[in-house]
Structure 1
């Protein structure tokens, strides 16, 4: 069992919001937090506009693939962040759940996805500050 906190990001298709959030958390936390993402009804591929939006900020999520949310992933996570999957996300007592109400980037152009990406980054940074703040030097 890891001493690191762990976060699971869940959205319906695991193709946009949850992939961007996982990309930001992996990039910004510097290995201090274990990161997972999944979907209740995964798409065939990550949204190419989400990939493009993340590439604009220097994060490459192009190698990621949507995954189905697994009971074990929920059980192994300290925090589950849901993004529009509603009642399809499994709930376990003692787990912390956050629901981030964010627009779905599916079917939207880059101009519409950028503000979603930026809001995800803001929330991920706040989550990092809470779960694994950097030690003063």
Structure 2
């Protein structure tokens, strides 16, 4: 997972969100029964609004990784002779394992942003 590109990770995260969207009623029932929220509130906050926050996290994480240059040339002038030149490449990689602890009132609404931001930036997540 860590070795995949930001584009691939963002694509996988978008697919996960699409599948969650297709299961919105199932997720709403799960949120309804685990939090005690009324079904309509669970459907709204635990479904579409949570998915929106997850998609926003995917977009921000993807853009942040795309802003860094993939390569750069560095040259240091020398007193004698040609300048010292280095070709550098940069690859976004994860920083480590993320831990997701959801709150008991809005678990998906508060959990999806961190979950998806971590996944898109190359970090495995323990839920």
- Indicate whether the TM-score tops 0.5: no
Q: Which has the higher helix share?
A: 2
Asked which structure has the greater CA Rg, the reply is 2
Normalising by the residue count of structure 1, what TM-score does the alignment of the two structures yield?
0.28
